[in-house]
Amino acid sequence: MCDLCYGTHVVYEIDSFFEYVYTCPNCGPEPEEKFRTRMDDLQRRIELVEKDFEKKGA
């Protein structure tokens, strides 16, 4: 695991008013298959929350 980004492939630079997001210079951008797996998991979690919300009502 990278000591700079801790495996996230993202490095943040904080300025006085802005926060810049860069890819990690050591790891490079996140591999496509890892990104797709993470996005599929996120989509599945969103669908579960939406179903739970529909059951309980607004």
Domain boundaries in the chain? 10-56
Quick: pLDDT tens for 2-58: 999 998 999 999 999 999 999 999 999 999 999 999 999 999 999 999 998 888 765
Cα 19 from Cα 40, distance rounded (Å):
27
| Model pTM above 0.75 | no
Task: Note the pLDDT of residue 35.
Answer: 93
CB 22 within 8 A of CB 10: yes
**Length in residues, the chain:** 58
DSSP string, 1-58: --TTTTTSSEEEEE-SS-EEEEEBTTTBSPPHHHHHHHHHHHHHHHHHHHHHHHHH--
